[in-house]
Amino acid sequence: MADFWLISVPLDKTSLTSVEKLKRIITKTHLGSCWRFPIPDLKVRVLVVFIYLFFCLKWYSRSYTCFFCCFFSSVDLMNRVTKFQWDKAKYPTALPLSTLTDIINKVQSFEDLRSRATAYNSLKASLQSLELNLNGNLQTRSLNDVLRKDDLVVSEYLTTLLVVVEKYLRWEKSYESLSEFVVPRSSRKIFEDGDGGIFTVTLFKRAVCKFKAKAQESKFIVRDYSFDEEERKQQEIMKLTVHKKDEYGIFVRWLKVNFTQVFIAWIHLKALRVFVESVLRYGLPVNYQALILETDRKRSKKLKEELSSLFVHLDPTVSCDIPGLCQQEYSSYICFHISTSMLEISEPSTT
């Protein structure tokens, strides 16, 4: 999957020369591709507004970078980035920047996506937790597939316990000595994995407490088990599996209809942030050029080195010690990463 970087440089002679050199380098060395990223002339007000928007857009952009998406045309979304055009009908450029930000942020699909993704992921996590518990280690895994009710002796005086025995421990030769009330030769291995095994043992009910204490001293673990409880958990898993499959289908259909709208609004947020930071960094009058770069992730390090070399004149110190503004990597030119990780996420087939 490709990486996209949205960069901005001022329109001074040196920077323009560096941009042309950059285009030649990436064409010659196949480091990536480059397109103009046209951002219209937006309404400029006082610096206080810019500083306000800087923090707002930074928060908004971070909030909407983690989209859950599947079954849509990634090629179409890539084209939305490389062939970006500002939607003046939805976001009139005559409006103040703060108003544009509010309009984009209030796109209903944003909230719908967040709520739907949260609900689906919560359902998915609940199912995974149950499945992990029932297929987990020897102390928690379900035994309904290997244990039958007639394997357990339950009478007025006798009961059968399940004991977890780690691989290196000697159970068969020691369990009868844990209590004088253990029924001789009553133990049977019912399950085994790489960590050890689970054994049954039958004894008198009145000796259960003392047996558990003695077993613990020998590092044997007596685990509680109920057929009814395990059956309830299995039914809950089946119920959640069906519910998850239904919700997944609903979510996918919603994404097919709405995700492109969300993605386009997000790219407009990126454009707004580039505009704001270009004015903050390069000053007024507004005079900058925005570019979108696409590169293979294996070549991204080399491309970053070329960019740093070409635009080092914009800030030779390449340092940032302003509190609150240095939570991301700082460079001499303005650069934002456009994450495409959401294009790699897909739900495994549930059929």
Q: Which two tokens stand for residue 91?
A: 């976001």
286 shares a domain with 204: no
- How many other CB atoms sit within 10 Å of the CB of residue 340? 17
Residue 54 is predicted with a pLDDT of 55
15 shares a domain with 85: yes
* CATH number of the domain residue 185 falls in: 3.30.70.100
Q: Which two tokens stand for residue 1?
A: 């999957």
Q: Per-residue DSSP letters for 129-163?
A: HHHHHHTSSTTTS--TTT--GGGS-B-SSEEEEEE
Residue 140 is predicted with a pLDDT of 79
Task: Identify the burial level of 230 via C-beta atoms within 10 angstroms of its C-beta, where 0-12 means exposed, 13-18 middle and 19 or more buried.
Answer: middle
Decide if 256 is inside a domain: no
Decide if 242 is inside a domain: no
12 shares a domain with 98: yes
213 shares a domain with 160: yes
Decide if 142 is inside a domain: no
Q: Which domain holds residue 187?
A: 149-224
Residue 136 is predicted with a pLDDT of 72
What is the Cα–Cα distance from 56 to 54, expressed in whole angstroms? 6
Three-state DSSP state, 262: helix
Decide if 237 is inside a domain: no
Write the CB contacts of 159 (distance below 8 Å, at least 6 apart in sequence).
152, 153, 202, 203, 204, 205, 208
Three-state DSSP state, 239: helix
Residues of the chain with pLDDT under 70: 1, 45-75, 107-110, 318-329, 340-351
Helix ranges restricted to H, the chain: 13-29, 47-63, 74-82, 97-105, 108-134, 208-217, 227-282, 300-310
Task: Identify the burial level of 257 via C-beta atoms within 10 angstroms of its C-beta, where 0-12 means exposed, 13-18 middle and 19 or more buried.
Answer: exposed
Asked if residue 57 lies in contact with residue 276, where contact means CB atoms within 8 angstroms, the answer is: yes
> Own/partner pairs for 197-200, CB < 8 Å, 24+ apart?
197/138, 197/164, 197/165, 197/167, 197/171, 198/138, 198/143, 198/162, 198/163, 198/164, 198/165, 198/223, 199/162, 199/163, 199/165, 199/171, 199/175, 200/151, 200/152, 200/160, 200/161, 200/162, 200/163
Decide if 239 is inside a domain: no
Decide if 138 is inside a domain: no
Decide if 61 is inside a domain: yes
pTM, rounded to two decimals: 0.59
Residue 36 is predicted with a pLDDT of 94
Write the CB contacts of 208 (distance below 8 Å, at least 6 apart in sequence).
159, 161
**Phi/psi class of residue 141: alpha, beta or left (left: φ > 0; alpha: ψ in -120 to 50)?**
beta
The one-letter amino acid code at 116 reads R
Structural domain total, the chain: 2
What is the Cα–Cα distance from 102 to 223, expressed in whole angstroms? 57
292 shares a domain with 209: no
What is the Cα–Cα distance from 25 to 18, expressed in whole angstroms? 10
**Domain boundary at 201, 224, 247, which?**
224
What is the Cα–Cα distance from 270 to 276, expressed in whole angstroms? 10
Residue 104 is predicted with a pLDDT of 80
